A and B are shown apart, each in its own frame.
Chain A
Amino acid sequence: EDQVTQSPEALRLQEGESSSLNCSYTVSGLRGLFWYRQDPGKGPEFLFTLYSAGEEKEKERLKATLTKKESFLHITAPKPEDSATYLCAVQAWAAGNKLTFGGGTRVLVKP
């Protein structure tokens, strides 16, 4: 069974204080690892897809990395508008197009 665990559950940061979110996964044949951002009352918004260990993707203050067992979402010099819940999901080759999600990390950036 595919499993995704995200840590920490919640993170409080001061504006400009860089940090990292962790996504640990077990999957029988990784097809892709996805990061989403979710604002309160809204649907998840796609951020990145990573396909193989060593791959990195960047978007503004966010950088996602992937190893064979985990992925990190690094937030560099965050701003209050980066406050959101960040979701990680895996897609296994055996599961077709289905995603298995982690519980998410709630990030609050204070000015």
Chain B
Amino acid sequence: DAGITQSPRYKITETGRQVTLMCHQTWSHSYMFWYRQDLGHGLRLIYYSAAADITDKGEVPDGYVVSRSKTENFPLTLESATRSQTSVYFCASSEGRARETQYFGPGTRLLVL
């Protein structure tokens, strides 16, 4: 039972480069979420998706793009990476009914030089 996985686990890139972080879940959950976690800010929602082809902005969406062509995948793209996007990124999913718990992946540590 793989659950929710993220790749890569670690990534170093340079400013201006495009980076895609992958998220895959095996539960067929309807909802998927992307968060970033920074010291002093806690976990902040970047984007979320209620179903395939349905996405919406969270608290900090600027500089990020998402897509969801399949229920199980929810990639996050940094179109032109900036140093301020150095962070730990977590993907989560939930079944989608009322009051449903979100389950988190292991995270991707991204360093933008």
Q: Are A42 and B48 in contact (CB under 8 A)?
A: no
Q: Are A45 and B43 in contact (CB under 8 A)?
A: no
Asked if B104 and A44 make an inter-chain contact with CB atoms under 8 angstroms apart, the answer reads: yes
Other-chain residue from A51, A99, A103, A104 in contact with B102 (beta carbon distance below 8 A): A99
Residue pair A43, B107 in contact (C-beta under 8 Å): yes
Q: A96 CA to B50 CA in the complex, in Å? A: 10
B100 on the A face (CB < 8 A): yes
Interface residues of B in 93-113 (CB under 8 A from A): 94, 96, 98-107
Chain A contact residue count (CB 8 A cutoff): 23
Whether the Cβ atoms of A42 and B31 lie closer than 8 Å is no
Bound-state Cα–Cα, A43 to B104, Å: 6
Q: Which residues of B contact A104 (CB under 8 A)?
A: 42
**In the complex, how many angstroms separate the beta carbon of B30 from the nearest chain A beta carbon?**
9
Instruction: Specify which chain B residues have a CB less than 8 angstroms from the CB of A91 in the assembled complex.
Output: 99
B48: chain A residues at CB < 8 Å are 97-98
Q: Are B99 and A44 within 8 A (Cβ)? A: no
B99 touches A99 (CB 8 A): no
Q: Tell whether B45 is near chain A: CB-to-CB under 8 Å.
A: yes
Closest chain-A Cβ to B100's Cβ sits at a distance in Å of: 6
Q: A46-B102, A97-B100, A99-B33 are in contact. List 13 more A-B contacts (CB 8 A).
A: A32-B99, A34-B102, A41-B107, A43-B90, A43-B105, A43-B106, A44-B90, A45-B104, A46-B103, A51-B99, A97-B50, A101-B43, A102-B42
The chain A residues found within 8 Å of chain B, CB to CB, are 31-32, 34, 36, 41-46, 49, 51, 87, 89, 91, 96-99, 101-104
Can you name 25 A-B pairs with beta carbons within 8 Å? A31-B98, A34-B102, A41-B107, A43-B90, A43-B104, A43-B105, A43-B107, A44-B43, A44-B90, A44-B104, A46-B101, A46-B102, A49-B101, A51-B99, A91-B99, A97-B48, A97-B50, A97-B94, A98-B45, A98-B48, A98-B58, A99-B45, A99-B102, A101-B44, A103-B40
